[in-house]
Amino acid sequence: MRISFRNKLLLLIGGLLAVTLASSLLAVMRASNTAVESIVRDELEVVERVFRSLLEVDREQLRGRAQVLAADFAFKRAIATGEQATMLSVLANHGERIAADLVVMLSRDGDILLSTHDVKRLPASAADVLREEATGGAAILALFEGEPFQLVLVPVFAPDLMGWVGLGTAVDESMLEALRSLTNAEITLLAQSGGEPARMLHSTLPEALSTQLQALAQPESAPTSALAQARWVTREVTLLNEGDARLTALLSQSLEQALQSYAPLRQQMIIIGCVALLLAFLTALLIARGVTQPIYALVRAARRIADGNYTHRIELRSGAEFGMLAETLNLMQDTVSEREARIRYQAQHDLLTRLPNRSYIASAFNSRLSEPNAASDYAMGLLELGNLRELTDLYGNDFSDSVLQAVAERISSSLRRGDMAARIADSQILLFFDALTHAGVDVVLDKLRADFASPLSIDGIPVRVEPLLGFVFAPQHGQGFEELLRRAQIALGNARNVKHGYSFYEIGQDENHLRQITLAHRLQAAVDAENFRMVYQPKYDMADHRVLEVEALMRWNDPELGEVYPDEFIPVAEQTGIITDISMIVLRLVLRQIQAWERAGLELTVCINLSGADILQLDFVRHAIHQLASSGLDSSAVVFEITETMMMSDMDLALANIREFEKVGIRLAIDDFGTGFSSLAQLKTLPVQELKIDKSLVLRLDQDKDDQQIVRSTIEMAHYLGLKVVAEGVENIASLRLLQAMGCDAVQGYYIARPMSAADLETWLGDLPVPVLAIRGEPA
């Protein structure tokens, strides 16, 4: 258990005082005990003196009465006669006047003539007195028949010494009582005679104690020790010690009784002690509070600081040390809060532009959403500096940093209240427009244009920045920050491709985008598993009226996405760069198929679509040539279809590579002719043998005069250049007839056949009467 400082202090002060008080009380009690004891001892000395003088007085009275008796004439005569009877009658006459317990008559020689008690002889002391023949007589204390008596012996003269008369009084209870009432002390008489053990004669002590004394009266010291045990102070007075006769008086006084007078003093002391103890506790409590209160205040303050509350100042009025500690805590709290603010600022801001960073604007955005009266409409504009890259290349990083700073400054200064700007990527600044709808965006655009209308001046160099902007509008374009930002990125991506440099997100674009991401993932899995199959679409030769060639087209059935068509996945494969892997798979599958057909006696040329990315890689070109060579097939077994637009990005490289094909005698066809910006003039320079007119020009050929015009002149020009012409997308007989009339060399389209599996193709070819046009009941 932990004892608090305050309680320790209380215990210490209280304990100290209690010990002091208790020991002084004890000392006082001890001192009073010894004082009382010595007073009692002194008192007992006085009691002894009183006792002795009481005996003395008693003897003097006896002596007086004995002398009266000795002077009595009749008595003298009786003694002279020596007759006992006469003596007794004289004594009887005196009777009351004598008032003695013992009467004795002695002859002049000291022989006992008469005695009231059985006295054989007098004690030696008495005999000595008689021998001296003292006229004043003698007084002795002696035991007669075991009882103590005071005996006074007076000579009787007539006129010569006739004898002695003795009067005695018993030292008995009445005498002891008299002494007790005089002195307040208790008296016990002990006698011993004839070698017998001491015996108690009388006692004024309370009965219980006297019986105890009687029982213990055996050994010499026992009586006093018994009294001492009962807290009595005893004084032993020897009254007689003659021969074997001993008489002792025990004078005793109760210590308890004597101390009784001190009891009120003791009580007072205890009361004073208790009051002092209580006062000490109260004082200790006050002191402890004085010490612990500031400590508690400091502890509370430290806890507040730990909780991140720095606004509270600690004010302490007690003690210099505590005051100093409080001041230090205040100082610490100031420094901590300052440092925390700085750290927070750094965590929430971009240090270059001093704009909030992405995480800060995200949380600001979210807390705005939770505001109850926030406008429901808002917009985000993602701004990118289109030419920042070039500026960096031209003038270096420091320069483009300065450009960003200047741009951030311009934007921040033109923001409305409630709007925000944050730098969320190296060259991107996100603008948040509160309460802005699509309808009101023109105002914002005008303002932004105005911001960037005049060139910035960086290090004295005038810089014109080209901002690109992608906009999203909430709630129609999404709700969450991340979702809106992603869609703004899509809009920004579109803005890069338009002349005016801004674009608004359109619903569905994001899903499209997401679909492309999924496709990219799944496509990789399909490549790893080689999960593709090929279908083949016949190409009908108009001159031969036969199918001599087929086009190989890919099919992909994904376990998760289902059937995905090449129009969708080929562009994704091109973007992710996986297209070349796919083309290698296609090449392998097709070569294997041609070999199989060759073995079956079916001679077909297969047209394979290649991507621009394939053509631009010499490695792939060499690989394709090698594959074909090692398959043992003739180079005329395949035709590679390539699109012109794909080669445009690096025409020289593309040309160099396709010349490799030309070298080994592989034929090439220009696919999708008529869709790009390609010109027939350029075809002259390309080592191609065939031209495929895109289906967009063919599908509605029978109805569209313009298409007819284009197709006709294309065929003429191609023929002029020595190229074979194929039209794809022939869906009806009318178009077919037109193409035939225009001199088109071959046609491909649903009217002839849809793309089909190798097995289906074989059946289809087998069933096919020649010529095809005749089968369909049309004139050739």
Q: Is 522 in the site for ligand C2E (CB under 6 A)?
A: no
DSSP 751-765: TT---B-HHHHHHHH
Piece of 9-17, 429-437, 678-686, 744-752 that binds ligand C2E (CB under 6 A): 744-752
Q: Is 731 in the site for ligand C2E (CB under 6 A)?
A: yes
Complex with ligand C2E: residue 130 or 564, whichever CB lies closer: 564
Residue type, 151: L
- Segments in 72-98 forming alpha helices (H): 73-81, 84-98
Q: Is 609 in the site for Ca ion (CB under 5 A)?
A: yes
Piece of 118-126, 565-573, 619-627, 655-663 that binds ligand C2E (CB under 6 A): 565-573
Tokens of 625: 């040539």
In angstroms, rounded to a whole number, what is the distance separating the alpha carbons of residues 31 and 35? Answer: 6
Piece of 160-168, 324-332, 662-670, 748-756 that binds ligand C2E (CB under 6 A): 748-756
553's contact among ligand C2E, Ca ion, none, with CB below 5 to 8 A by partner kind, is: ligand C2E
| Burial track 76-96 (b if 16+ CB lie within 10 A, e otherwise) | bebbeeeeeebbeebbeebee
Q: Is 671 in the site for Ca ion (CB under 5 A)?
A: yes
Interacting residue with Ca ion among 419, 541, 641, 707 (CB under 5 A): 641
Q: Give the residue from 387, 447, 368 showing the smallest Cα distance to 415.
A: 447
Interacting residue with ligand C2E among 72, 549, 702, 728 (CB under 6 A): 728
Q: Give the residue from 133, 130, 99 showing the smallest Cα distance to 116.
A: 99
- In whole angstroms, the minimum distance from the beta carbon of 646 to Ca ion comes to 12
Complex with ligand C2E: residue 356 or 749, whichever CB lies closer: 749
Tokens of 481: 């920050």
- Angle, helices 320-348/358-369, rounded to nearest 10 degrees: 100
Which residues, numbered 682-701, are part of the site for ligand C2E (CB under 6 A)?
Answer: 695
- Alpha-carbon torsion, ordered 67, 72, 78, 84, to 10 deg: -50
Piece of 124-132, 284-292, 468-476, 726-734 that binds ligand C2E (CB under 6 A): 726-734
Cβ neighbors of 78 (< 8 A, separation 6 or more) are 86, 87, 89, 90
CB 17 within 8 A of CB 277: yes
Helices then strands, each counted (H, E), the chain: 28, 25
In angstroms, rounded to a whole number, what is the distance separating the alpha carbons of residues 463 and 454? Answer: 9
Interacting residue with ligand C2E among 68, 570, 680, 756 (CB under 6 A): 570
Interacting residue with ligand C2E among 14, 294, 538, 749 (CB under 6 A): 749
- Which helix (H) or strand (E) segment holds residue 714: the answer is helix 705-720
Piece of 112-120, 214-222, 516-524, 672-680 that binds Ca ion (CB under 5 A): 672-680
Interacting residue with ligand C2E among 147, 384, 672, 690 (CB under 6 A): 672
Piece of 81-89, 382-390, 411-419, 604-612 that binds ligand C2E (CB under 6 A): 604-612
537's contact among ligand C2E, Ca ion, none, with CB below 5 to 8 A by partner kind, is: ligand C2E
Note every long-range contact of 670-677, with CB atoms under 8 Å and residues 24 or more positions apart, other chains counting.
Answer: 670/641, 670/642, 670/643, 670/644, 671/609, 671/641, 671/642, 671/643, 672/643, 672/644, 672/645, 673/644, 673/714, 674/710, 674/714, 675/645, 676/643, 676/644, 676/645, 676/648, 677/645
Tokens of 343: 């750290």
In angstroms, rounded to a whole number, what is the distance separating the alpha carbons of residues 712 and 701? Answer: 10
Q: Is 644 in the site for ligand C2E (CB under 6 A)?
A: no
Q: Is 612 in the site for ligand C2E (CB under 6 A)?
A: no
Complex with ligand C2E: residue 137 or 749, whichever CB lies closer: 749
- In whole angstroms, the minimum distance from the beta carbon of 692 to Ca ion comes to 6
Q: Is 586 in the site for ligand C2E (CB under 6 A)?
A: yes
Interacting residue with ligand C2E among 193, 400, 611, 631 (CB under 6 A): 611
Complex with ligand C2E: residue 149 or 751, whichever CB lies closer: 751
In angstroms, rounded to a whole number, what is the distance separating the alpha carbons of residues 173 and 184? Answer: 15
Interacting residue with ligand C2E among 295, 750, 756, 771 (CB under 6 A): 750
Q: Is 672 in the site for Ca ion (CB under 5 A)?
A: yes
Number of residues that bind ligand C2E (CB under 6 A): 25
Q: Is 554 in the site for ligand C2E (CB under 6 A)?
A: yes
Cβ neighbors of 446 (< 8 A, separation 6 or more) are none
3-state secondary structure labels for all residues of 452-467? HHCCEEECCEEECCCE
Q: Is 565 in the site for ligand C2E (CB under 6 A)?
A: yes
Piece of 56-64, 250-258, 478-486, 560-568 that binds ligand C2E (CB under 6 A): 560-568
Complex with Ca ion: residue 493 or 676, whichever CB lies closer: 676
- In whole angstroms, the minimum distance from the beta carbon of 586 to ligand C2E comes to 4
Piece of 175-183, 184-192, 539-547, 747-755 that binds ligand C2E (CB under 6 A): 747-755
3-state secondary structure labels for all residues of 202-239? EECCCHHHHHHHHHHCCCCCHHHHHHHHCCEEEEEEEE
Q: Give the residue from 532, 590, 533, 539 showing the smallest Cα distance to 765.
A: 539
Residue tagged 């606004």 (tokens): 311
Complex with ligand C2E: residue 631 or 748, whichever CB lies closer: 748
467's contact among ligand C2E, Ca ion, none, with CB below 5 to 8 A by partner kind, is: none
Q: Is 553 in the site for ligand C2E (CB under 6 A)?
A: yes
Give the length of the chain: 780
Q: Is 168 in the site for ligand C2E (CB under 6 A)?
A: no
In angstroms, rounded to a whole number, what is the distance separating the alpha carbons of residues 379 and 475? Answer: 9
- In whole angstroms, the minimum distance from the beta carbon of 696 to ligand C2E comes to 9
Cα Rg, the chain, nearest whole Å? 73
- CA 760, distance to chain mean position in Å, is 74
Interacting residue with ligand C2E among 254, 402, 609, 735 (CB under 6 A): 609
Complex with ligand C2E: residue 384 or 641, whichever CB lies closer: 641
Complex with Ca ion: residue 510 or 694, whichever CB lies closer: 694
Which residues, numbered 215-244, are part of the site for Ca ion (CB under 5 A)?
Answer: none
Site map (CB under 5 A) of Ca ion, residues 687-706, x = contact: -------x------------
Piece of 20-28, 85-93, 286-294, 552-560 that binds ligand C2E (CB under 6 A): 552-560
Q: Three-state SS for 83?
A: coil
- In whole angstroms, the minimum distance from the beta carbon of 641 to Ca ion comes to 4
- CA 136, distance to chain mean position in Å, is 113
Q: Is 567 in the site for ligand C2E (CB under 6 A)?
A: yes
Cβ neighbors of 343 (< 8 A, separation 6 or more) are none
554's contact among ligand C2E, Ca ion, none, with CB below 5 to 8 A by partner kind, is: ligand C2E
Piece of 483-491, 671-679, 698-706, 710-718 that binds Ca ion (CB under 5 A): 671-679
Q: Give the residue from 472, 477, 465 showing the smallest Cα distance to 491.
A: 472
Piece of 28-36, 59-67, 112-120, 549-557 that binds ligand C2E (CB under 6 A): 549-557
Where on the chain is the footprint of Ca ion (CB under 5 A)? 609, 641, 671-672, 694
Where on the chain is the footprint of ligand C2E (CB under 6 A)? 537, 552-554, 565-567, 570, 583, 586, 609-611, 641, 671-672, 695, 728-731, 748-750, 755
